[in-house]
Amino acid sequence: MKELLMSLCVFITSMGMVSAHGQEQQQGASQVREQAKERGLAQREAAAQKREVAQEKREQKHALTDKKREAAREQLDQDDKLNKAEHKARQAAHQAQKDAKKSKYDMKKKKREARRKAKEAKRKAKKNKNENNGID
């Protein structure tokens, strides 16, 4: 009987220990779950921060690219204006050359015409003189 009582005591005590152990396990499991939640939350926050940093870097890169693109566009516009101005200057110089050549040609033409008219007038005068001499 004593043995039975003793084994019953051991059994009850061990049940209490199992029960206490089970509660500890449950508390430990809830702590583990809580820690996992905290780790997951921390990981999500870290990932969100990482995404934000990456987004900021992309925006900075795009802004820099846009600035470079705008600067290149302005440079091209300035180059175009300069090229147009140079082209107009070349055209004006060419037109001036053409005008000078034309005026030179016109002057030569006028001189030739004047010489021709002078020769013709001289011929007519000579012819008139000869005719007048012949009449006398």
Residue 17, domain member (yes or no):
no
pLDDT on residue 92:
94
110 lies in a domain? Answer: yes
Residues of the chain above pLDDT 70, percent: 85
The verdict on residue 71 lying in a domain is: yes
Tens digit of each residue's pLDDT (9 = 90 or more) over 98-115: 988 888 888 999 999 999
Supply the mean pLDDT for the chain.
Answer: 85
Q: Write the DSSP string, 71-109.
A: HHHHHHHHHHHHHHHHHHHHHHHHHHHHHHHHHHHHHHH
32 lies in some domain: no
Locate tokens 């200057």: which residue? 89
Query: Structural domain tally of the chain?
Result: 1
Has residue 119 been placed in a domain? yes
45 CB neighbour count, 10 Å cutoff:
10
So what's the pLDDT on residue 17? 54
The per-residue b/e assignment along 26-36, b for 16 or more CB within 10 angstroms, e otherwise, is: eeeeeeeeeee
Residue 19 has pLDDT above 70, yes or no: no
Q: Does 20 reside within a domain?
A: no
Assigned domain for 122 exists: yes
**12 within domain boundaries:** no
Q: Which domain holds residue 70?
A: 50-136
- DSSP assigned state of 45: H
Distances (CA, A) of 91 to 43, 85, 103: 70, 10, 18
C-alpha 70/C-alpha 28 separation (Å) is: 62
